[in-house]
Chain A
Amino acid sequence: MRARDAILSRHHRSRTVTIVVTAVAVAALYGAAPRYDGTFFLSFLVDVVILGLAALGLQHTVGDGGVLNLGQAAFFGLGAYGGVWTLQHWHWTTLPAFGAAIVVAALGAVVMAPLLRLRGVYFAMASFAFGAMMFEIFGQAVSLTGGENGLFLVPPLRVFGHTFIGNRDSYLVVLTVALLCYAVLALLMRSGYGLSLHAVRQSENGARAAGVNVARLRFFALLIGVIPAALAGVLYAQVHGIVQASVFDYNQSVALITMVIVGGVASRWGAFAGALLAQYISVYPRAIEQYRFLLYGVLIAALMIVLPGGIASVGRVALARSRVLLGGGRL
């Protein structure tokens, strides 16, 4: 009985800690808007959050679902083109355009669904080919996508009759969408669906024996993972006012999976940490301008060796190490 109380109280404490940390983090994220208003840093943050949102969906597919999707940029693009079509041709606003983007990306996921029968590296290759093929289609279907030149004059974000222009407003919208997706995914992982995913990760055959429909589950992990990317596509188009096919090539797919793994494949916030690092490297280091991507490559290569759990595992690893050093526990 005492052991149970101890476990419960520890559980209770860690839950309080989580709530406090989350509240502080959310406040700090919203606080960045007035704090950095009018600075370049804020427009940088807007891009980080948009890319992080696309990576967040991929984290669900790869990390929670165990489906190694190497074609996420295709869904980023499908969302962008689907949403922009309704914005430009039917003069929809942002929220209905989100709906259109989700429908288009979901159709893409349905097209990709037969590939889920392939295992491991075969699915990885097929999804990579799917992404590369979609990029070619984006580039060549000029009447729909504007091809390499892109679609211009995408209308700005407009929600409930209010137009959001400028970095501060864009940041608030983008951040809100990202946090909502984050919260929905966190809740989903606590639902029966999330528990089934956990079970499949522990033992696929065990889960199957317990009545989990693994094929359907993998499809849902893909479908749910492409939705944030589709939303990110619309946000990207509306914030920048332009979409070009080159944003959605297979290098973008590889960049997104890199963000997920660098951030920590098992961590939702890791997706944003990975996006922050990637975007920081591509924007900031002016002093080592021509060496920044070389530095990025070296960083990833080193990270995979010393910290395979990604940025998100830094705290845990450091904590474990310090405990060992202090002699308080065992690694």
Chain B
Amino acid sequence: MNVHNLVQQTVFGLGLGAIYGLVAIGFSLVYRTMGLLSFVHPQYVMLGSVFGFTALVKLDLSLWTAIVPVGLLTALVAVVVDQVGLRPIRRRGGAEISLILATVAWGIILVEIVRQDWAYGPSALSLRSAARPPINVLGIELRWDTLGVLASGTVLALGLAAFLKLTRTGRAVRAVGESGPTAALMGIDVERMLAISAALAGFLGGVAGLLVGYLFSAGISTGTIGVKALAAAVIGGFGNIPGAIIGGLVLGVFDNIVAADVSATWRDAIVYGLIIVVLLLRPGGLFGRRTSART
């Protein structure tokens, strides 16, 4: 493979990587605050993609104006799922597996609602209207939509980081992530922080879904991209939020280069294998501090 191709695949990969990163942040945030592997999270990507269909195709909004409403709507759904589906189990002190299965159930519920004919139906929907022609920079083809996805992903990730670092509420969310009981003793309303982190995860997942729809297509099978984003969260160190973004970009580039130059048929198997290898060798992520995931 020549350098030109490598750069080209890297550029394409970064766009997809920004999406993986946004989804991975949600996985990590939910894990940090609730200690939960959430199977409903990939379906927020699916929801965002179909909400994006409504916004871009039915309402004819631009990508930029659609981001906030689509994100907020998905965040609302995420909060409802958290409050109705998970909070009663948490309050009872239910087992981890009950919570995981509840997220599986809500994933089924969301997909099945969207699948209905009166909702969006079972087939893939196209969000693409007239895509602008690609521009050339030093012989590298840059597509506007890839750039837009990368830009919006970066802005959102930075926005989240600023929220978590700089605001009082953000600090409270991080405190819950460190230790729920201690945060409660400090007078933090833990349940409220959990709802906020669910909303943040939903928002980012929804926007990621909008971008997925914009780059590829929308519909009920979009959730599989969310499942692959789990790999990004693991690469960055599960629970590590800046790591999730880097993990997303690495996965996007890796995935694209593997697909283009190693084997398109084996790319998914290789990505899943990568999850296992990273978990075994560097459970704190490729860049994170060393943590113990061992028994």
Which A residues lie at the B interface, using CB under 8 A?
62, 68, 114-122, 124-126, 128-130, 132-133, 136-137, 140, 214-215, 250, 254, 257-258, 261-262, 265, 290-291, 293-294, 296-301, 304-305, 308
Contacts and interface: CB of A to CB of B under 8 A. Distances in A.
A60 B209 CA distance: 38
B254 to A, nearest CB: 15
Nearest to B101: A261
B112 A305 contact: no
Contacts of A121: 31, 35-37, 96, 238
Contacts of B35: 121
Contact of A125 (B104, B108, B238, B268): B238
B293 interface: yes
Contacts of A132: 227, 268, 272
A115 B105 contact: no
B37 A296 contact: no
Contacts of A117: 280, 294-295
Interface size class of B (residues with CB under 8 A): 35 or more
Given A115-B280, A129-B272, A132-B272, A298 B109 contact: yes
B39 A254 contact: yes
B275 A137 contact: no
B75 interface: no
B276 A130 contact: yes
A290 B119 CA distance: 12
A101 B31 CA distance: 37
A137 B201 CA distance: 32
Contacts of A126: 275-276, 279-280
9 contacts: A124-B37, A125-B275, A129-B272, A140-B265, A140-B266, A258-B104, A261-B101, A301-B106, A301-B109
A137 B104 CA distance: 24
B234 interface: yes
Given A261-B98, A297-B108, A297-B109, A308 B280 contact: no
A67 to B, nearest CB: 10
B269 interface: yes
B109 A294 contact: yes
A304 B98 contact: yes
B59 interface: no
A122 B279 contact: yes
Contacts of A128: 230
B134 interface: no
Contacts of B148: none
A308 B37 contact: no
Given A126-B276, A132-B227, 9 more contacts: A118-B280, A121-B36, A121-B37, A125-B238, A254-B39, A290-B117, A297-B112, A299-B105, A300-B101
B295 A119 contact: yes
Contacts of A308: 89, 92, 94-95, 98
Given A118-B293, A140-B265, A125 B112 contact: no
Contacts of A114: 280
B225 to A, nearest CB: 13
B68 interface: no
A297 B269 contact: no
Contacts of B102: 300-301, 304-305
B98 A115 contact: no
A298 B113 CA distance: 11
Nearest to B293: A122
Given A115-B279, A254-B104, A290-B116, A120 B98 contact: no
B283 interface: yes
A66 to B, nearest CB: 10
